[in-house]
Amino acid sequence: MPKVTIDGVEIEVADGTTVLDAALSRGKEIPHYCYHPGLSIAGNCRMCLVEVEKAPKLLIGCATTVADGMVVRTESEKVRRARASMMEFFLINHPLDCPICDQAGECKLQDYAVEYGDGRSRYTEPKLALSKAVDIGRHVMLDQERCIQCSRCIRFCREVTGTGELAFFQRGERAQIGIHPGHRLDNPYSGNVVDICPVGALTLKEFRFRSRVWYLKNTASVCAGCARGCNVVVGAAADDHDQIGRLRRIVARYNGDVNGHWICDEGRLSWQRIYAAPRLMTAESPAGTPADWDATVAEVAETLREAAGRSRAGAILSPRLTSEDLYAWRRLFEALGGVEAGVRRIARGEDDDLLIRADKGANAKGAEWIFGAGATEASVLESARAGRLEALLVVGDPLDPDDTARLDDDVRSKVARVLFVGPFVSGAAEAAPVRLPMAAWSEQDGSIVNFRGRIQWLRRAVGTKAEDRPGWRIAADIADAAGVEFPSFTAPGEVLAALARDVAEYRDVDADTVGMLGVPGRTEAPAGA
Amino acid sequence: MERILTRNIEKERSHTLEVYEAGGGYQSLRRALASMSPEALTDEVKKSGLRGRGGAGFPTGLKWSFMPKDDRPKYLVCNADESEPGTFKDRVIMEKDPHLLLEGCILSGYAMGAKTTYIYIRGEYVFSARRLEEAIAEAYAKGYAGKNILGSGFDHDLYVHVGAGAYICGEETALMTSLEGNRGYPRLKPPFPAQSGLWKSPTTINNVETLANVPFIVERGADWYQSIGKAPKNTGPKLYCLSGHVKRPGTYEAPMGLPLMELVHELGGGMLHDDRPLKAVIPGGSSVPVLRAEECAVDLDFDSLAAIGTMLGSAGVMVMDSSTCMVNAIRRVAHFYAHESCGQCTPCREGTGWMHRVLSRIEDGGGRQQDMDLLLDVADNIQGQTICPLGDAAAMPVRSFVKKFRDEFQYHVDHRKCMV
Q: Which helix (H) or strand (E) holds B91?
A: helix B90-96
Taken in order B333, B339, B341, B346, the sign of the CA dihedral is: positive
> Tens digits of per-residue pLDDT, A24-64?
999 999 999 999 999 999 999 999 999 999 999 999 999 99
Contact A238, A217 (CB under 8 A): yes
Interface residue A48 vs chain B (CB under 8 A): no
State the number of CA atoms in the 13 A half-sphere of A154 facing the CB: 21
Mutate which of A19, A46, A154 to disrupt the B interface (most B C-beta within 10 Å)?
A46
d(CA B399, CA A482): 89
**pLDDT (tens digit per residue) in A325-345:** 999 999 999 999 889 999 999
pTM of the model: 0.95
Distance from CA of B371 to the nearest CA of A (A): 10
What is the pLDDT at residue A529?
40
Residue of B346, B370, B386 to mutate when probing chain A, most A C-beta within 10 A:
B346
- Of A221, A226, A255, the residue nearest A450 (C-alpha): A226
B135 by Cβ neighbours in 10 Å (0-12 / 13-18 / 19+) ranks as buried
Q: What is the mean pLDDT of chain A?
A: 95
Tell me, yes or no, if B336 comes closer than 8 A to chain A by beta carbon: no
Q: Are B350 and A170 a contacting pair at CB < 8 A?
A: no
Judging contacts by C-beta atoms under 8 Å, the chain A residues touching residue B183 are 167-168
> Which residue of chain B has the CA closest to A147?
B346
Give the number of residues written for chain A.
529
Could you give the CA distance from residue B305 to residue B260 in angstroms, rounded to a whole number? 10
* Chain A residues inside the 8 Å CB shell of B191: none
Neighbours of B35 (CB within 10 A): 8
CA angle A446, A449, A452 (to 5 degrees): 160
> Which of B344, B358, B381 lies at the smallest CB-CB distance from A85?
B381
Query: Which residues in chain A are closer than 8 Å to B343, comparing Cβ atoms?
Result: 149, 168, 170-175
Identify the DSSP state of A159.
I
Q: Which amino acid is at B370?
A: Q
Q: Which residues of chain B have pLDDT under 70?
A: none
Q: Do the chains contact at B354 and A123, CB–CB below 8 Å?
A: yes
pLDDT at res. A476: 97
> For B327, phi and psi rounded to 5 degrees?
-70, -45
Name residues of chain A where pLDDT drops below 70. Answer: 239-243, 524-529
pLDDT value, residue A465: 86
Peptide bond into A198 cis (omega under 30): no
**Contact (CB, 8 A) for A323 and A446:** yes
- B119 forms beta bridges with B78, B160
CB pairs under 8 A between A and B: 90
B168, amino acid identity: I
What's chain B's length in residues? 420
The predicted-structure confidence for A194-221, as pLDDT tens digits, reads as follows: 999 999 999 999 999 999 999 999 999 9
Q: Which of A58, A60, A81, A89 to mutate to test the interface with B (most CBs of B within 10 A)?
A: A89
Contacts of A49 in chain B (CB under 8 A): 385
Nearest to A49 among B340, B342, B385 (CB): B385
Contact state of B347 with A89 under an 8 Å Cβ cutoff: yes
